[in-house]
Chain A
């Protein structure tokens, strides 16, 4: 079953890549083929965002049950959220170079994603500084939840402070997507693909993490070399 779903995910993401280059038309008003980055950049940012929300949800579940498996899930979600966040930042910077002429412009969205990344980098620093697993889980869960309370302010404050050149979000203030239907179809398919990819990676990484923890615990007890 797991193999089949992994192959299905592979097929789905391959179809998205093909669709992004051969099915969806170019959006108007962009340099060359640069608008195609939309199909990868936006879902990456979305997956990163989903990772951070998932981390906070798992942190709440940890605090309610005190089951260390939830803490591990939250930790892996932050790791993956950071990976997707860095990828979204890099793809965004490449696109900005083509479209705006410079890799980094302190655009509100660039600033807010950078600060979110800083926050979750700090989360990892905190985990590194506490040895006892229970205490580490407790403190980092509290910090992850605090992150979800504080970071939305950035997305609210930043656009007011500086003028943004960033294209309209997929769903704008009127709540309607303004896109050609083919572009929207590929974007939505890509979003689903990236979300599935996130949870597939999350599953793999949590299992690897659990094995690593068991291995070090066994080593402490004197088994193995």
Chain B
């Protein structure tokens, strides 16, 4: 008798795990399918990044700024461009659910942690695409010489992840408030500020030469803390 119950428990435990993963994938696939219908986030991110890059390039291009000052200024500008592009496009992930009134259906059909991971994955691919698009163009346009490309890649990966995870949680919060657009910047920037200080320092090190050091471990710890906080707080934010 005992044996029978234990096997049935094992049988139910296995599909449960598959369900969680399939929920994550379903949310991710749904978000991209919706995105390809309108291409709202993609267009916003790409056009915003491109416009700001053109402005920066015209006034501070290879002729406009000397190399020594460029290594100081350009890492900051790169991250300002990335941050504002993210702020323009990412809140859409949750705001859209509230506006099209699909949030309730989503609450019924997916567990909060799976939903958070699915949305995070969607934001992560968006930020990754943005970085892949922006960074090479930025480096070429500004004639920026990168001493340590590996460090730059690592910073972009860890920094992009931090941007995505922080923005996903804040987007879930502001989607339920009244003034959505402006509120995202107000709420997200203090959360993302420690991250920005770190990534700017690391990007500067990658451009000027110099290791990752403590900053890299601080960045990874920031990512880990915000992920854990996000997983713990998201069910509270999402479920009424």
On A, residues with C-beta under 8 Å from B are 63, 115, 118-119, 122, 125-126, 129-131, 134-135, 138-139, 141-143, 145-147, 149-151, 153-154, 156-158, 160-161
- Neighbouring A residues of B177 by C-beta, 8 Å: 126, 129-130, 139
- Neighbouring B residues of A147 by C-beta, 8 Å: 190-191
A62 to B143, CA, bound (A): 53
Question: Are B176 and A115 neighbours in the complex by a CB distance under 8 Å?
Answer: no
Question: Are B193 and A154 neighbours in the complex by a CB distance under 8 Å?
Answer: yes
Which residue of B is nearest A156, CB measured? B218
Which residue of A is nearest B178, CB measured? A129
Q: A146-B233, A149-B226 are in contact. Are A139 and B176 (CB under 8 A)?
A: yes
| Dominant secondary structure of chain B at its interface with chain A | helix
Tell me if B115 is interfacial: C-beta within 8 Å of chain A: no
Interface centre among A63, A134, A141, A149 (most CB of B within 10 A): A149
Question: Are A122 and B233 neighbours in the complex by a CB distance under 8 Å?
Answer: no
Q: A130-B178, A131-B178 are in contact. Are A150 and B191 (CB under 8 A)?
A: yes
Listed A/B pairs (15) with beta-carbon separation below 8 Å: A63-B236, A118-B189, A119-B190, A119-B191, A130-B176, A135-B176, A139-B237, A142-B169, A142-B173, A149-B225, A150-B194, A150-B226, A151-B194, A153-B218, A158-B197
Question: Are A142 and B233 neighbours in the complex by a CB distance under 8 Å?
Answer: yes
A11 to B15, CA, bound (A): 67
Binary flags per residue of B215-240, CB closer than 8 Å to A gives 1, else 0? 10010001001100100010011001
Question: Are B194 and A154 neighbours in the complex by a CB distance under 8 Å?
Answer: yes
- Neighbouring A residues of B222 by C-beta, 8 Å: 150, 153
| Dominant secondary structure of chain A at its interface with chain B | helix
Q: A118-B190, A141-B236, A161-B201 are in contact. Are A126 and B183 (CB under 8 A)?
A: yes
Question: Are A161 and B197 neighbours in the complex by a CB distance under 8 Å?
Answer: yes
Interface centre among B193, B214, B215, B222 (most CB of A within 10 A): B193
A145 in complex: contacting residue of B190, B218, B233, B240, CB < 8 Å: B233
Which residue of A is nearest B187, CB measured? A122
Interface size class of B (residues with CB under 8 A): 20 to 34
A129 to B193, CA, bound (A): 22
- Neighbouring B residues of A134 by C-beta, 8 Å: 240
B236 in complex: contacting residue of A122, A142, A160, CB < 8 Å: A142
Question: Are A143 and B218 neighbours in the complex by a CB distance under 8 Å?
Answer: no
A149 to B179, CA, bound (A): 25
Question: Are B183 and A125 neighbours in the complex by a CB distance under 8 Å?
Answer: yes
A143 in complex: contacting residue of B187, B214, B226, CB < 8 Å: B187
Interface centre among B190, B201, B240 (most CB of A within 10 A): B190
- Neighbouring A residues of B240 by C-beta, 8 Å: 134-135, 138
- Neighbouring A residues of B105 by C-beta, 8 Å: none
A126 to B191, CA, bound (A): 14
Question: Are B178 and A160 neighbours in the complex by a CB distance under 8 Å?
Answer: no
- Neighbouring B residues of A141 by C-beta, 8 Å: 236
Question: Are B194 and A153 neighbours in the complex by a CB distance under 8 Å?
Answer: yes
Q: A139-B176, A139-B237, A146-B191 are in contact. Are A125 and B186 (CB under 8 A)?
A: yes
Tell me if B87 is interfacial: C-beta within 8 Å of chain A: no
Closest 3 A/B residue pairs (Cβ): A153-B194, A119-B190, A129-B177
- Neighbouring B residues of A156 by C-beta, 8 Å: 218
